[in-house]
């Protein structure tokens, strides 16, 4: 009897620890600054990138703001994958761009920061339907956004963060 109880206890403990770990991993994934869910919506106007980007937040408003931040961050650090007739866009910086310029980007991406100058929401009002998912603790919202890619690249070049194509010549 004791042996059966011990095995049952062990099984419950193992299950909960595995479950806790997966939740922790999931949280880490949501919190990760590298986790951008982005897709191209087609070729944007001259110098802009038209994307659909997801954000998370306790309120739908917060999720929209996070999505805007993610749109700019994705264009800088990860690029935009090909889709809807648009070719892939490479990131403005290399993969370790954030780590190399952490102070600059912490200020750039702060609440109400400079990043907002380079993104425009093309969605009228609050996203609804399939673009607004109610989760256990908040919302996951998809935003159609236009990122001013050329302006953003030039700004980062002027600040000495990104390298110009003709630097060294």
Partner 1 sequence: MKKSLFTAALLLMTILMFGQAKKPILMVVPSDNFCIQKGYSMTVNANGNEQVLPDYKTALQSSDELRLVITKMGSIMADRGFPLKDLEQSLKSIESESAEISMLQSKSSGAAINETPIDILKRTAKADIILDLDFVVKRQGPNNFISFNLRGLDAYTNKQVAGVAGAGAPSSSASVDLLLEEAVLSHMDDFNGQLMTFFDDMFKNGREVKLVIRVWDNADVDLEQDFDADGTYDMLSFHIENWMAENTVSGRFSTVDATGTMMRFEQVRIPTTFTHNGREMAMDTRRFAANLNRYLAGEPFNIESKIYQRGLGEAWLIIGER
Residue 166 makes contact with partner 1 by CB under 8 A? yes
Instruction: Count residues near partner 1 (CB under 8 A).
Output: 20
Residue 149 makes contact with partner 1 by CB under 8 A? yes
Residue 114 makes contact with partner 1 by CB under 8 A? no
Residue 106 makes contact with partner 1 by CB under 8 A? no
Q: Which stretch binds partner 1 (CB under 8 A): 9-17, 36-44, 59-67, 138-146?
A: 36-44
Residue 159 makes contact with partner 1 by CB under 8 A? no
- How many degrees, rounded to 5, is the angle at CA 106 between CA 102 and CA 111? 170
Q: 28 exposed, middle or buried (CB, 10 Å; 0-12, 13-18, 19+)?
A: exposed
| Rounded Cα distance, 165 and 80, in Å | 19
Residue 85 makes contact with partner 1 by CB under 8 A? yes
Residue 96 makes contact with partner 1 by CB under 8 A? no
62 contacts: CB under 8 Å, gap ≥ 6:
55, 138, 139
Among 86, 114, 116, 133, binds partner 1 (CB under 8 A): 86
Q: Would you state the structure tokens that stand for residue 77, as one six-digit string?
A: 């650090």
| Rounded Cα distance, 44 and 84, in Å | 11
Q: Closest Cα partner for 75 from 56, 102, 48, 96?
A: 48
Among 46, 96, 99, 103, binds partner 1 (CB under 8 A): 46
Give the binding site for partner 1 (CB under 8 A): 42-44, 46, 82, 84-90, 149-150, 163-166, 168-169
């Amino acid at each position: 009897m004791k042996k059966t109880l011990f095995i049952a206890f062990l099984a419950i403990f193992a299950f909960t620890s595995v479950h806790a770990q997966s939740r922790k991993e999931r949280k880490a994934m949501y919190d990760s600054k590298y986790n951008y869910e982005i897709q191209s919506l087609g070729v944007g106007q001259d110098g802009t990138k038209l994307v659909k980007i997801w954000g998370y937040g306790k309120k739908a408003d917060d999720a929209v703001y996070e999505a805007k931040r993610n749109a700019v961050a994705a264009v800088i650090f990860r690029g935009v994958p090909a889709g809807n007739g648009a070719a892939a866009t490479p990131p403005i910086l290399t993969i370790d761009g954030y780590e190399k310029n952490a102070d600059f980007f912490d200020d750039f991406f702060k609440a109400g920061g400079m990043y907002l100058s380079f993104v425009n929401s093309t969605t009228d009002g609050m996203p609804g339907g399939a673009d607004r998912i109610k989760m256990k603790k908040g919302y996951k919202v998809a935003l159609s956004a236009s990122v001013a890619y050329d302006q953003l690249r030039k700004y980062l070049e002027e600040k000495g963060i990104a390298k110009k194509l003709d630097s060294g010549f």
